[in-house]
Amino acid sequence: MSMNLEREKATLPLSESADAKSPILPKILLGITIVLILTAIYLTFMYADIEKTMGVVQKIFYFHVGSAATAFTAFFVTFIFSILYLVKRKRIFDTYASVSAEIGLIFTTLVLTTGPIWAKSAWNTWWVWEPRLTTTLILWFIYMAYMMIRQMDGVWDKKARLCAVFGIIGFTDVPIVFFAIRWWQTKFHPIVFGNGVSQKGGGIADNMLVALIVSIFALLSLYTYLLNRGVEFENMKIKVDQYKEKLREDLEN
């Protein structure tokens, strides 16, 4: 039996014991996620004030910001589990890093999709090469490359090491995206909270803040559910690959 198969077998008791201890966890996460998303939708469209300048189109702000916060969280999780993998060399850590990066890429795509829709109404243009938009696009390309490495042919542990390094280095762009409008002067992206180079955060109404916070938590809950299910799915794929490898060896012998 190959060394790769032995390494994979060593990680299985971890996932199997976790599944056995918490079979109801996915259902709880799904229930919480559904409640939070429905609450966020209600607060966004029925409770929060309509912004005076942009009107109803400003409502996309809650899901745009929530998607960005969730993407940053996902990439941070990838960053942490990439470090853990390089230190411990356990496949379960690589699995968490991979699934989290994939989900983060999806939410970054949502950011880059909702952003231009909002920009067209607010700035009268779909895209502007300003600091935050540009660094966000770079972030998307970084983790798209990360996922392409995952799809390459080769031994999984070599790809895992390369992806771990890529996940750690790639995360450095996240704080750059966040602080971009504070470090560089821009007339497009407003600063809502805190201070910037040439402008102070304007803040938002209390009911808008409530809707924003709930929207962020709703999408973070969705991320947690997807991460849990994604790791379970990847573990099942590993088991299937092990059985196929063992069957192949038995037939050869």
DSSP state of 190: P
DSSP bridge pairs for 172: none
Phi/psi at 53 (nearest 5 deg)? -85, -50
- DSSP-derived 3-state class of residue 200: strand
Separation of alpha carbons 131 and 177, rounded Å: 8
* DSSP symbols for 101-113: HHHHHHHHHHHHH
Contact 223, 73 (CB under 8 A): yes
pLDDT reported for residue 192: 60
CA–CA separation, 100 vs 102, rounded Å?
5
* Distinct helix (H) and strand (E) counts, the chain: 8, 0
Please report, as a single letter, which amino acid is at residue 188.
F
- Residues near 138 by Cβ (< 8 Å), separated by ≥ 6? 173
* Token pair recorded at residue 109: 């795509």
Residue 203 has a pLDDT of 59
Amino acid in position 189: H
What pLDDT does 202 receive? 52
Q: What pLDDT score does 11 carry?
A: 44
Contact 61, 54 (CB under 8 A): no
Candidates 61, 96, 98, 68; CA nearest to 174 is 68
pLDDT score at 52 = 76
Q: Is 185 helix (H, G, I), strand (E, B) or coil?
A: coil
| pLDDT value of residue 175 | 92
How many Å apart are CA 149 and CA 162, to the nearest integer?
Answer: 8
pLDDT tens column, 144-166: 999 999 888 778 888 899 999 99
How high is the pLDDT of residue 200? 53
List average pLDDT for each run of 10 residues in the chain, which is 253 residues long. 43 42 80 96 89 78 92 97 94 94 96 84 76 89 93 84 92 88 66 53 75 95 95 87 74 73
Distances (CA, A) of 113 to 60, 64, 78, 117, 140: 11, 9, 23, 7, 12
Q: Which DSSP category does 201 fall into?
A: -
Helix (H) or strand (E) holding 239: helix 206-252
Looking at residue 13, what is its pLDDT? 42
Domains and CATH numbers, the chain: 24-237 (1.20.120)
Mean confidence (pLDDT) of the chain: 82
Residues 55-67 have pLDDT tens digits of: 777 788 889 999 9
Element (H, E) at 46: none
Residue 127 phi/psi, 5° resolution? -150, 140
